[in-house]
Amino acid sequence: MIVLDGNAVSQKVLNQVREKVTALDRKPHLVVIMVGDDPASKVYVRNKQKAAWQVGIRSTVIEMESDVSEMELLDKICELNDKKDVTGILVQLPLPPQIDKNKVITAISPLKDVDGFTPENVGKLSIGLEPYFYPATPQGIIMLLDEYNIPIEGKDAVIIGRSNIVGKPMAQMLLNRNATVTICHSRTADLEDKIKTADILVSAVGKKIVRCKMVKNNSCVIDVGIYRDSNGQLTGDIDYDYVSESAGFISPVPGGVGPMTIASLMYNSAKIY
Ligand code: GUN
């Protein structure tokens, strides 16, 4: 079993991004908007800032109070869309309940949408056009698979989770690489049966869901889940010890998909339109 080293591969990507940024005449500037004080969001935003600093990308964090109005947030996005010196805009999710997430995402200029979440970028991805940006987590996973020369074409890929951030764009990107894709979710009738068929298994649920030894022999298992268990340990969706008996490749938590997502976001943030 080979452990997919997200720390090492992400450093390699970040080094390439740093070289690219150094050579650019016009410097990228990422603006991250964080609404409220969700503790997990704070950690993510801090990690994004650190990575931006590491690769020489200017980054600004705009913090807004949790009771900010939707209109105020939309106005801020419009202002950033029009600013020539801002090249990337990211609104950290989740947003408080008074704000319609989809309205906010739709307001971001597709040319500055480093998350790849706007309808234009999602639409382009789904009809086989090149989006301005691919969503960071699935793009980071593809980078990881490619780095280890894990074949995608013709393989059976099973994705657990159907979020707009991970599950759906992951399915689309694997489909574009000619995998046969199954998306599973909370209402899937026989999850274990589906898992058994996977050459590539991607779990993005946020709870321990893959406990069985039934992952296919020599398959590639990607764990997107990251949360603290009852002992305060960082853990993922996959029971590593069980699965490592049959999997050929596995991405650990921490040190797998997490650092790849950040590197992939920096890769996007170095793109200027
Ligand atoms: N919250 C959790 N993941 C993400 C992400 O990839 N982008 C944004 N903007 N917010 C998130």
- Tens of pLDDT, residue by residue over 126-170, are 999 999 999 999 999 999 999 999 999 999 999 999 999 999 999
Q: What is the pLDDT of residue 223?
A: 98
Q: What is the pLDDT of residue 210?
A: 87
Q: What is the pLDDT of residue 212?
A: 80
> Could you tell which of 92, 95, 261 is best to mutate to test the pocket of ligand 1, judged by most ligand atoms within 8 Å of the CB?
92
Q: How far is CA 72 from CA 7, 77, 84, 164, in A?
A: 38, 9, 21, 24
Range list of β-strands (E), the chain: 2-3, 29-35, 58-64, 88-91, 156-160, 180-184, 200-203, 220-223, 227-228, 234-235, 249-250
Percentage of the chain lying above the pLDDT 70 cut: 100
- Indicate which atom in ligand 1 lies nearest the CA of residue 115: 7
Q: What is the pLDDT of residue 14?
A: 98
Catalytic residues: 48, 92, 115
Could you tell me if the CB of 165 is within 6 A of ligand 1? yes
> Could you tell which of 41, 61, 115, 267 is best to mutate to test the pocket of ligand 1, judged by most ligand atoms within 8 Å of the CB?
115
- Tokens standing for residue 198: 């996977």
DSSP codes joined into one string, 72-87: HHHHHHHHHHH-TT--
- Tens of pLDDT, residue by residue over 200-248, are 999 999 999 988 878 999 999 999 999 998 999 999 999 998 999 999 9
- Identity (one letter) of the amino acid at 82? D
- Tens of pLDDT, residue by residue over 80-111, are 999 999 999 999 999 999 999 999 999 999 99
Nearest-CA neighbor of 263 among 46, 55, 28? 55
- Pick the residue whose CA is nearest to atom 8 on ligand 1: 92
Could you tell me if the CB of 121 is within 6 A of ligand 1? no
**What's the pTM?**
0.97
Residue with tokens 């805009």: 89
Could you tell me if the CB of 89 is within 6 A of ligand 1? no
- Indicate which atom in ligand 1 lies nearest the CA of residue 91: 9
The beta-carbon contacts of 93-98 under 8 Å, at least 24 apart in sequence, are: 93/41, 93/165, 94/38, 94/41, 95/35, 95/36, 96/35, 96/36, 96/66, 96/67, 96/68, 98/67, 98/69, 98/70
Q: Give distance in angstroms: CA of 93 to centre of ligand 1.
A: 5
Q: What is the pLDDT of residue 213?
A: 78
| Burial status of residue 117 (CB atoms within 10 A of its CB: 0-12, 13-18, 19 or more) | buried
What's 88's DSSP letter? E
> Could you tell which of 38, 93, 266, 269 is best to mutate to test the pocket of ligand 1, judged by most ligand atoms within 8 Å of the CB?
93
- Tens of pLDDT, residue by residue over 21-73, are 999 999 999 999 999 999 999 999 999 999 999 999 999 999 999 999 999 99
Q: What is the pLDDT of residue 214?
A: 83
